[in-house]
Structure 1
Amino acid sequence: MPVHGSPPPAHPATAGPTGRPGAAGARRAAAGKGGPRYGTGRRAERLAPYVLLAPAILIILALRLFPLLLGVNFSFTGDGEHDGQPVGLDNYAELLRDPLFRTALENVGLLVLLLPVAVAIPGLLATFIHLRVPGHRFYRGVYFFPAVLSPVIVGAIFNLLLAFDGPLNSGLGHLGIGPVDWLGDPDIAMFTVVGVHIWATFGMALVVFLAGFSTLDPSLQDAARVDGASLPQLIRHVIVPGLSRTLQFVVVTTMIGMLTSMFGLLYVMTSGGPEGSTYLPEYYVWIQQGQLNRPALASAASTVLFVIMLVVGLAQIALLRRSGRES
């Protein structure tokens, strides 16, 4: 019989050895008191990432996705006397009939073929710097300098160097090689502009490669050297598989840069010539919008350029992933 004023005895299921509530009883009591608050806290934790991401998602939707959809919709309208009127696929049919746009598409194919060169140059230089081969200090000191120059400045510099009577042809003349019309020959002008673009932009890709090298396991490289692996074998079997994700990023960003960042060089060095041989979709869009005042046709060309970048980028990623699994 309990004494007056003493606490009631604990339930046997919840009482500890001393008669006080045990751990199970304490947890049950805490759950009874704070259950709703605990559930609310878990719900807030689950919603917190979405709340934090909401501003960025809204910015992307407002400034990226909506203008893209607006441009695609605008490509199905007319220009001139049919301004704003739906014309279906007429703009796309006109693009396919335009020889300048077909040349621009052919040059896109040329860029895809030259992409391995644009990726290999910074990749090899980053490898030399990482392996500390002779001359790596020189490359480390000067590799990023061209990336800080404006494309207009780069184009003006190479216009002087590559002129028909410029320093490069003068040097070739001393070697007994005739002068080359680097920017006036339709067969080589596009190669010249792409080469200048690679020289001016490979510094950014090299920085990405150097960051990727910092994630490699040094023990794998040491083991390969101990086994007598040559430099080409080390690059093929150790470095390239270890940099697969870095390589995917560099390939895609380099391709996008070649398709969308060569306008300044094209405008300064060739203005789309000679004979339209250096047209790219980006330059074609500017001509239609800025000079011919045909925004609907320019929107159609922009849509085609977007689809090309999407397809090429996804195809490159798929090929790189497959080659990474095979290696």
Structure 2
Amino acid sequence: MRNERVVAYLFVLPALGLFLVFRFFPLVAGSVYAFTDWNGIADARWIGLANFRELIFDPVFRDTMRNTAWVILSLPIWVGLPLLLAVFIHLGVPGAPFFRAAYFFPIVLSSIIIGTMFSIIMRFDGSLNQLFILLGLEPVDWLGDQRFALISVVSVAIWAHFGMNVLIFLSGLSAVPPEIIDAARVDGANLWQVIFRIIIPMLRPIVEFVAVITMITVVTSMFGLIYIMTGGGPGTATYMPEFLIWLMQGESNRLGYAAAMSIVLFAFVGCIGVVQIRMMRREWE
């Protein structure tokens, strides 16, 4: 028994080492540097809470968090659309094999490729506006107008992450007993009643999981699209926390200030995730 435990620990050791080196130690180091003035080269100078006080009055940081709040409000779209498509595919609607292949396509593309592709499509003289002109509509500056830039980037991000959520929901639907759905149909339930009164309640844990994971993705994984499509502009219209942290660290050489932003982002994501889980559980109960 003791030898088996030793072997088990040896198998876990590489993963634990990677976690400590690339996750735990950077988190601890970042927590320390958040209280310093450090440019990455000279010795770090301890300044206490000065970085966090600066964050409170930083207009760029406020704009970034406002953009983040708007994006989080779009979370029902990130979760609801993939859920409905997964249900339709599971129920075998016409064209299900096509949708099953189409939704998976964005997963195999990097954010750089997706951002470049949609930058060409959404530029002022791009194919999207050419379609608008053919339909007799006025062209829109999708990436250069503050009213549309964030919506455009978020729409592309939803498309890019759509397939993974569909895949997760399809995995959950495979555990739903088909006898229950058949019994509901025999009792006279229509399609929407089957979806909203039987299937979705049975997928409650999966919905909660996808909602939390998607929220984290929304806040922390849009850097590539923003960098390629808008560069954060126009102005600060498409700034997100991860992009602003990169600017402070990579271009302004303010690693201490960037570390303070990272700590705030970490706490923000954690709090939103906890609140989200509690609200969902209370709603389902």
Give the shorter-chain TM-score range. Answer: over 0.9
Question: Match for residue 300 of structure 1?
Answer: 260
Q: 1:255 aligns with which of 211, 215, 220?
A: 215
After superposition, what is the alpha-carbon deviation per residue over 1:83-128, rounded to whole angstroms, capped at 9, x for unaligned? 5122111101112222111111011111210011011121111111
What is the rounded CA distance, in whole Å, between the counterparts of 1:46 and 1:320 in structure 2? Answer: 41
After superposition, what is the alpha-carbon deviation per residue over 1:167-215, rounded to whole angstroms, capped at 9, x for unaligned? 1112112222111111111122101001001111111111111100011
Question: Match for residue 191 of structure 2?
Answer: 231
Q: Residue 243 of structure 1: CA displacement?
A: 0.9
After superposition, what is the alpha-carbon deviation per residue over 1:237-276, rounded to whole angstroms, capped at 9, x for unaligned? 1111111111122111111111111111101110000011
Question: Match for residue 224 of structure 2?
Answer: 264
Once superposed, what is the RMSD of the aligned Cα atoms?
A: 2.1
Question: Match for residue 72 of structure 1?
Answer: 31
Q: 2:157 aligns with which of 197, 208, 227?
A: 197
Which consecutive residues of structure 2, in runs of 5 or more, have no partner in the other structure?
none
8 A Cα contact 1:182 1:188, kept in partner: yes
Q: 2:68 aligns with which of 84, 88, 108?
A: 108
8 A Cα contact 1:77 1:83, kept in partner: no
- 2:214 matches 1:274: no
- 2:78 matches 1:118: yes
What is the rounded CA distance, in whole Å, between the counterparts of 2:8 and 2:205 in structure 1? Answer: 27
Q: Residues 300 and 198 from structure 1, CA distance in 2 versus in 1: closer, same or farther, beyond 3 angstroms? A: same
Q: Residue 49 of structure 1: CA displacement?
A: 10
- 2:270 matches 1:310: yes
Q: Residue 66 of structure 1: CA displacement?
A: 2.3
1:128-139 mapped onto 2 (5 Å cutoff): 128-139=88-99
Q: Indicate the larger mover: 171-180 or 45-54.
A: 45-54
What is the rounded CA distance, in whole Å, between the counterparts of 2:205 and 2:6 in structure 1? Answer: 30
SS in 1 for 2:46: coil
Q: Residues 148 and 90 from structure 1, CA distance in 2 versus in 1: closer, same or farther, beyond 3 angstroms? A: same
What is the rounded CA distance, in whole Å, between the counterparts of 1:225 and 1:302 in structure 2? Answer: 51
Q: Which has the higher contact order (CA 8 A, sep 6+)?
A: 2
1:23-172 mapped onto 2 (5 Å cutoff): 44=2, 51=9, 55=13, 56-57=15-16, 59-79=18-38, 83-172=43-132
Question: Match for residue 143 of structure 2?
Answer: 183
SS in 2 for 1:164: coil
* Length, aligned pairs only: 283
Larger Rg: 1
1:206-217 mapped onto 2 (5 Å cutoff): 206-217=166-177
After superposition, what is the alpha-carbon deviation per residue over 1:266-290, rounded to whole angstroms, capped at 9, x for unaligned? 0111000001110000000000000
